[in-house]
């Protein structure tokens, strides 16, 4: 009997131990799954008024984490927070302390949302340069007090300058309500027009930027052009009397030209018609004209080289080989190459008075 009692006691201990292990395992698994994928980070603020541990960390107004610790350290405040599992934030994320109202506690807002690239890693530190806090109500009151003092009787309005400004502004705006209303309506219409033409507007701005960049790169040429324009302006200013007289005579000259054209319309038409024929001939012979233009300089040079100043004659000799037929296209018998060795040798023409022409035309 005692054996059964001791055995039952051992079974109960074993069952309790197993149950304890199962509970511990479930708790550990839950803790591991709850902490897996979470990101812990630290943000440093210049001031963190109204920020407390347990407050929300949000992204686009949606809760994505919790503040774990708020600890002042010198001139800065250390804020540790944890993002929920599966929440991604960019590595260069910024943190802003947001106050939903004047009296409630504040939450941290992460921005921008993650759209790709490096992620905010576990243990990341966000410096003060990437954090911001709202202006406190006391600071706002202090700024308003400084502004009121600066514009008050001991400041800008000490001699009535501000009052004079307000009086002058009121006098200028009096009776112009309808005009101002039209002005604002026109500005609204212009804004609507530009709203549908933002592509053209941006293109115009880009082109202006390119134009100004080109002017900057060519600053020396621009300065030179400005100097030349200044010279032209000074020249015209110096001769303004002559220019004024010329401009005064210009209508009379144009009238005479008109009378001439009207009186000689038939002759002008005939001349233009003849010029048309001449122009057509020149166009038809443009190949020959081009060849003449190319050959004329060489011919003139050869003629100058052939002139003999000592005898005042033009010396030259005839190349008889140029007179020999070379092709069968002209139906002239051509001596075979094998028979040319039997041809008689012709002496070159004697250069002298009998074969030259004096420049006098003899």
Number of domains in the chain: 4
Extended beta strands in 25-75, E state:
39-45, 56-59, 62-73
pLDDT band at 44 (very low <50, low <70, confident <90, very high): very high
Does 47 lie in the same domain as 30?
no
Q: Is residue 120 a part of any domain in this protein? A: yes
User: 208: phi > 0 → left, psi -120 to 50 → alpha, else beta; which?
Assistant: alpha
| Domain co-membership, 29 together with 45 | no
**Reported pTM:** 0.39
**Could you tell me if 2 and 55 lie in one domain?**
no
Whether 83 is in a domain gets the answer: yes
Q: Which domain-ending residue is among 222, 238, 254?
A: 238
pLDDT at 71: 93
- The verdict on 99 and 15 lying in the same domain is no
Q: What is the pLDDT of residue 333?
A: 55
DSSP H helices, 175-218, are: 177-195, 198-217
Mark whether 32 and 42 lie in a shared domain: no
Domain-embedded: residue 262? no
Q: Residue 40 has what pLDDT? A: 93
The pLDDT tens digits for 110-122 are: 999 999 899 999 9
**87 and 111 housed in the same domain:** yes
- Determine the Cα–Cα distance for residues 50 and 134; give it in Å rounded to an integer: 11
Residue of higher predicted confidence among 33 and 153: 153
pLDDT > 70: percent of the chain: 77
Tell me the residue range of the domain where 209 lies: 187-238
pLDDT class of 64 with cuts at 50, 70, 90? very high
Indicate whether 254 belongs to any domain: no
Residue 297 resides in a domain: no
Do 116 and 50 sit in the same domain of this protein?
Answer: yes
* Residue 78 maps to a domain: yes
Has residue 272 been placed in a domain?
no
pLDDT digits (tens, 9 = 90+) for 228-263: 989 888 888 888 888 888 888 888 888 898 888 888
Nearest partner of 59 among 32, 92, 85, 93, judged by Cα: 93
* pLDDT attached to residue 290: 85
């Amino acid at each position: 009997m005692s054996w059964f009692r001791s055995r039952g006691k051992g079974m109960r201990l074993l069952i309790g131990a197993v149950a304890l292990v199962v509970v511990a395992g479930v708790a550990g698994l839950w803790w591991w799954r709850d902490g897996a994928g979470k990101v812990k980070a630290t943000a440093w603020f210049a001031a963190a008024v109204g920020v407390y541990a347990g407050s929300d960390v949000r992204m686009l107004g949606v809760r994505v984490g919790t503040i774990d610790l708020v600890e002042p350290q010198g001139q800065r405040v250390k804020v540790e927070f944890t993002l929920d599992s599966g929440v991604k934030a960019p590595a260069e994320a910024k943190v802003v302390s947001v106050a939903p109202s004047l009296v409630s506690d504040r939450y941290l807002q992460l921005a921008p949302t993650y759209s790709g690239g490096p992620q905010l890693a576990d243990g990341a530190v966000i410096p003060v340069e990437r954090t911001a806090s709202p202006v406190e109500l006391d600071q706002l009151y202090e700024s308003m007090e400084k502004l009121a003092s600066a514009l008050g009787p001991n400041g800008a309005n000490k001699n009535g300058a501000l009052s004079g400004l307000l009086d002058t502004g009121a006098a200028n705006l009096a009776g112009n309500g309808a005009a101002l209303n039209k002005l604002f309506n026109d500005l609204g219409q212009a804004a609507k027009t530009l709203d549908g033409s933002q592509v053209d507007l941006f293109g115009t701005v880009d082109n202006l930027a390119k134009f100004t960049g080109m002017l900057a790169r060519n600053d020396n040429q621009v300065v030179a052009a400005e100097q030349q324009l200044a010279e032209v302006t000074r020249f015209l200013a110096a001769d303004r009397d002559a220019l004024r007289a010329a401009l005064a005579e210009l209508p009379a000259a144009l009238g005479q030209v008109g009378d001439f054209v009207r009186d000689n319309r038939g002759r002008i038409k005939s001349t233009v018609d003849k010029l048309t024929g001449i122009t057509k001939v020149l166009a038809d012979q443009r190949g020959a004209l081009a060849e003449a233009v190319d050959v004329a300089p060489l011919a003139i040079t050869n003629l100058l080289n052939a002139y003999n100043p000592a005898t005042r004659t033009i010396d030259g000799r005839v190349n008889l080989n140029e007179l020999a037929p070379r092709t069968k296209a002209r139906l002239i018998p051509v001596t075979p190459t094998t028979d040319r060795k039997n041809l008689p040798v012709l002496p070159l023409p004697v250069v002298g008075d009998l074969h030259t022409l004096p420049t006098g035309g003899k």
